[in-house]
Structures are given as C-alpha cells and as structure tokens.
Amino acid sequence: MATKLIDLKGKRFGKLKVLQQAKNRGIRVYWLVACDCGSDPYEIESYGLRNDCRQCPECSRLGVIKDLKRKQFGEWTVIRQTERPQGSKHRGAFWLAQCSCGSNPRVMRADYFTNKGSATDCGCVYIEGRQDIIGQIFGRLTVKRWLGHRRYLCKCSCDNGHCEVEKQHLVSGMTQSCGCLQVALLLQRKTGSRGFAGLTGIDHPNWNGGSSFFPHPPEFNKLLK
C-alpha cells in the first residue's frame, strides 16, 4: 500500500518556506523552497525538511565564514556584514566597508578583501599619488615610506626615533615632529627660557613657531608635575 503524500506547501521549516511540490525523482519527493535571506528558490527532498535542514546552503556557509568586522585591508576598514545587493548572483558573503579617504561606505564581496591582488582602496590613493611626498621634509620629519591607510613612516631630526603620521597632517603643517617640539614649547612656558643654545623655532629653518631642541625625559617629567 502506497504511503499517502503529506502536503508541505506553505509550511515553514526554520528559515525555509515550501512554495510547491517539485518533480519527483524516482520514489523521492522534492519540494521547491525559498529562504528568508532572499536567495534563489531551490529544490530539496522531503527527508531534508523533516530532519535538520532549516536554512539554505548559502546561509549555512555564511554562518561559518571568517568574521572580517573591524579588520583593515589596505585603505579599507570593514564595518559589518550586510545583505546581498539586489540583482547580485554572487552567493558569498557581503560586507560594508569604509575607505580611509572618507568616501561613502560600499557593499563589497568578502573575496574582494581575501583574494590576492585585490585593490586595497577605492581609487583615491591612485588619484592623489601616495608616493609624491616620500623623501620630503615637513618640519623635523623626513618621510621614509608609505605604511598604508594614508599613513607614512617618518624620521624625526631629534633622533628620538620614527613615528607614523597621516599625509593630511604633514602637508597641512599640523604635525611637524615626533612630539619633541611640543615638549620644547611646554618647557618654554614653564621656565620662560628660549631653550637650549638660545634657539627658538623662529630661528630654525625647518620649523615655524617651535623650539629646536628635545629635552631629556627626566626634565620633561619634572615639568609635568
């Protein structure tokens, strides 16, 4: 005696909704289902619905993908995972990402970040020319190399070491040293001195408004007390 077919049309199984019965394959009964994620409907056997299948293959895969939130890839910073854009046939994960240039966030595929050779910015770096300031001097800072994310490695003339500075801070004059000039100005305010060797920033060829020395850390610590 044949088993009576149980009509599953309109029923829900987790995120899956049964649309209609599909063409049977031998003795196996198949149903056309749609997932709440909006992916294309697909056919699944009754056995899968009655057991543990509660979402489409795409949702299952997205549940175990690598979390890219807050990670940086070149100039891009990933904000959060987002839904697949309407009309896209790509079945992978999508992420909302922001370029360091401040342009509007973009919805991007996960493999855009993970594939070798993918672009690392929205095009802004090419437009502005990231190599144009390497070797230039801004105050006490000499630009050595580009670090990515609009930042450059700079060497300070005070021999205190290297520092990372954004390009806009260099070209605008906002940052002129590794911090030694701010220390010098603080010393002047505290002591009324013109600094070691009697030199102020007005006399310094690479700086306008700061001092041309870097006090030792113990002296600086005393000034802060």
pLDDT per position as a tens digit, 121-180: 777 765 555 557 888 999 899 999 877 667 788 999 887 778 898 887 888 888 888 888
Residue 148 neighbours by CB under 8 Å, 6+ apart:
74, 75, 120
Higher pLDDT, 223 or 109: 109
CB 175 within 8 A of CB 181: no
Q: What is the dihedral of CA 209, 213, 219, 220, to 10 degrees?
A: 40
Cα 219 off chain centre by: 40
Give the Cβ contact number of residue 94 at 10 Å.
18
Per-residue model confidence (pLDDT) at position 218:
44
Q: pTM to 2 decimals?
A: 0.36
Distance in angstroms (rounded) separating the CA atoms of residues 39 and 35: 6
Classify each residue of 154-183 as buried b or exposed e, where b means 16 or more C-beta atoms within 10 Å of its C-beta.
bbbbbebeebebbbebbeeeebbbbebbeb
φ, ψ at 109 (rounded to 5°) = -75, 150
Per-residue model confidence (pLDDT) at position 221:
42
The most distant pair of C-alpha atoms in the chain lies apart, rounded to whole Å, by: 108
